[in-house]
Structure 1
Amino acid sequence: MEGKFMKKNILTIAMAILIGASLMACGSKADNTNSKADSSSEVSADAKKVGVLQYVQHPALDKANEGFVAALEEAGIEVDIEQQNAGGEQSAAQTIANKLVNDKKDLILAIATPAAQAVAGATTDIPVVITAVTDPAASGLVESNDAPGGNVTGSSDLTPVADQIELLTKLLPEAKNVGILYCTAEANSKLQAEMAMDALKEKGLTGVEYTVSSSNEIQTVVESMVGKVDAIYVPTDNVIAAGMTTVAMIATTEHKIPIIGAEAAHVENGALATYGIDYFEVGKLAGEQAVEILNGKSPADIPIAYLPKDKCKLTINEEVAKELGIDTSSISMQ
C-alpha cells in the first residue's frame, strides 16, 4: 500500500509541475502579445495612417519599399505604416487593396503595376502613390503622366532600354539573335519588350520574344531558347525578377548564354550586366511625393516622377563575365 501511495504522490507532483509549466508558457505568450500592442501604441493618434501594398517580394521592389519609407522618415512625418504583400497573386492584391481602403488610410502606396491597378480600382478618394510602374498612363492609372488628374500619382521605373541594348552590343559584339524574356501578364513588360525590339533592329540584330504567363513556365521557356539565341534581354518584369536565379542557372551556368538585365538585382542574381536604375531611389521619389500629399498637395497636380539618367548605374557581374570569358575592363556607358 505504501508503495502505491508513494507512486500516487509522485504522479500528482509531476502533473502539478507540468500544469505549472504550461501556465508559465501561456503567461509568456500573453506577455509577448502585450509587448507588441504596447509597441504599436507608441504611435500617436495624430500619426498619418499609410498602407503599403507590394505585389511580390523580390530585391527591386523591396528596395523601392525601403526608399519610400526612408523619404517619410527624412521628412520627419509621423506615420503608422501597415505593410502588406500579395505574394504575386492578383486576387490577393485586390483583397488587400479593399482592406486598406476600408481601413480609411490617409494614403496608400502601391508597388508594381498589378498592385497599383488593384488599389486605383478600389478608391477614387484616398490618395494613392504608385512606384515601380513603367508607364502609369498606358496602364490606365492616370490621365497622363504629366498631369495625373485624379487621386493617383507616383514614380516610374522606366529604364534606358536603348542604352541597355547598346551595352549588350559592347559586351557581346558577336551576338546576332537576342531573346527577350518577359511575362505576358504584365503590360509594362510588353511595352519594354517593344522598345527593346526597336533598339535591336536599329543595331541590325534580330529580337525574338519568349514569354511566360506564370513563374511555373520559366524553366521550360528558357530551355526552349537554347541553341536559338546568342543572348537574353530581361526587362523590369516582376515574374522574371522573382525567378531570375532559375533563368541564370539554365541559360548561363548550364548553356553559357549571357543575360543583359534591366536593373542591378538581375545582375546580383546571375545576369551578366545592366545599365539600369536604382530602385531605392525610385521608391524615394514616390516617398517624396507622399510627403507633399500628406502636407496637403493634391495627387492630381503632381506629375509622374522619373529617375534622371545620370542616376543610372553600370553594374557588371565579374564572376559571370569570367565564367563566360568576357573582358569587361574597357566597358563604359559614358
Structure 2
Amino acid sequence: MLRLKASAHSNFLRTVLGAATALALLGGGAVHAQTVKVLSIVDHPALDAIRDGVRDELKSAGYDADKNLKWEYQSAQGNTGTAAQIARKFVGDQPNAIVAIATPSAQAVVAATKSVPVVYSGVTDPVAAQLVKAWGPTGTNVTGVSDKLPLDKQVALILRVVPKAKTVGMVYNPGEANSVVVVKELKELLAKQGLTLKEAAAPRTVDIGPAAKSLAGKVDVIYTNTDNNVVSAYEALVKVANESKIPLVAADTDSVKRGAVAALGINYSDLGHQTGRIVVRILKGEKPGAIASQTSDNLELFVNTGAAAKQGVTLSPELVKEAKTVIK
C-alpha cells in the first residue's frame, strides 16, 4: 500500500515537472503577452491602412490581441504637442516596441526614448527627419519603413496627365520634414525639365482650401505628396480643384478615391505588413539597430476619370489601361 502511494506521488511529481518544463520551453515564444504601442499623427486612409497592416501581420505571426498581445493605438489628431505627450506616456509604459506612423509621430517617439525599440512607418526621409543617421543598420533603438517615392516617376505622371504643363503647384505643411524634402527635390527635378514649382503653405488643415485657391490661375496642375495635413483634409483641395479646373495629381492612391485625377503610389496596407514583419523580428529578440531601414518598390497606378472631367483634363486611353484601379 505504501509503495502504491509512493508510486502515485512520483507520477504526480513527474506530471507537474513535465508541465513546468513545457512552460519553460515555451517561455521565449508568443505565449507571454507582448506589448506594442502604436502612435499615428492623424487618422486618414493611408495611415490607417499602415496601422491595420501592422496588426494583421502580427496576428499572422501568432501575436493576437485577444490572447497574447497587448495592443494600444492612439492618434495625435494632427497635433504635434499631443504626439509628444502620447509618446512620453508610451515610453513610460515600457512596451516591447512602439510603432510610430508618419514623420511627426516618429520624431516625437524618437525624442522620448533611446532604449525602447521604435519602428517608424510612412516616413518619407528618415535621415532628413533625424530619426536615423543612415539608411543602414544604425546600432540605435530605431528602424522602420519609408514611403519615399521616386520623384522622377511622379513628374512623369504629372506630364502624362497634363502634357503641356509648365507650372506645378504644391500645397503642403512646411512643418512636416517629409514635405520640405519633397518640395526641395521636386523643385530641382522640375527645373531640369524646364518646369517651375509654385508652393502654397498650409500649416493647418483649415489652411488647405485657401492655399489651393491662392494657386488658381497660376498653375497648370497641383501635385500633392503624402503630407498628412493635406491628405487628412483632401476634400477641401478637391473642391477648389473642381471649381478652378485645376487637375490634381497625388502620391497617395487613396486620394484618387477622394477626387484626385491620378496617383502613382505605395500600397499602404502592404507597407503596414512590411512594418509588421520588422516588429515581429524585434518581438522575437532582434535588436532594431541591427535592422536596416527599408523602402517599398510596390507602386500602384490609380486614375479617376470622373475627377479628370471635373478638373478639365482627358486621360489618355493608354494611361487608363495601365491603371490598377480606375474610378469613374
TM-score by length of 2: 0.84
Structure 1 residue 207: Cα displacement: 1.3
What is the letter of the counterpart of residue 63 of structure 1? A
Number of equivalent positions: 288
Paired with 1:224 and 1:136, the residues of 2 have a C-alpha distance of 31
- 2:36 alignment partner AA: V
Q: How far does residue 174 in structure 1 lie from its aligned partner after superposition?
A: 1.8
| 3-state SS in 2 of match to 1:52 | strand
Q: C-alpha distance in 2, partners of 1:150/1:325?
A: 49
CA contact (8 A) 2:49 2:268 kept: yes
- Cα shift at 1:327: 2.9
Question: CA separation in 1, counterparts of 2:212 and 2:180?
Answer: 18
Q: Equivalent residues in 2 for 1:285-296 (5 A)? A: 285-296=274-285
Q: Residue 318 of structure 2 aligns to a residue in which SS?
A: coil
Percent identical across equivalent pairs? Answer: 37
Aligned residues of 1:148 and 1:304 also touching (Cα < 8 A): no
Matched, 1:62 2:62: no
Match of 1:317 in 2: 304
Report if the CA contact (8 A) 2:305-2:315 is conserved. Answer: no
The whole-number CA distance in structure 1 between the counterparts of 2:313 and 2:76 is 40
Mapped to 2, the partners of 1:318 and 1:198 lie a distance apart of 30
In the alignment, what sits opposite 1:329? 317
For 2:259 and 2:71, the matched residues in 1 are separated by 33
Structure 1 equivalent of residue 157 of structure 2: 167
| AA of the residue aligned to 1:321 | A
Q: Which of 216, 222, 244 is the aligned partner of 1:226?
A: 216
> Among residues 236, 239, 247, which one is paired with 1:258 in the alignment?
247
SS of corresponding position for 1:181: strand
Question: Contact 2:247–2:313 at 8 Å: present in 1 too?
Answer: no
Name the SS of the counterpart of 2:139 in structure 1. Answer: coil
Which has more radius of gyration? 1
Is this contact kept in 1: 2:266–2:296, CA < 8 A? yes
Structure 2: runs of 5 or more not aligned? 1-29, 324-328
Partner Cα separation in structure 2 for residue 55 and residue 137 of structure 1: 19
Whether the aligned pair in 2 keeps the contact of 1:119 and 1:128 (CA below 8 Å) is yes
Greater mean alpha carbon deviation, residues 241-250 or residues 172-181: 172-181
* Structure 1 stretch displaced more, 203-212 or 64-73: 203-212
SS in 2 for 1:233: strand
Structure 1 unaligned spans of 5+ = 1-43
TM-score relative to the length of structure 1: 0.83
Secondary structure of 1:150's aligned partner: coil
Pairing partner for 1:205 from 160, 179, 195: 195
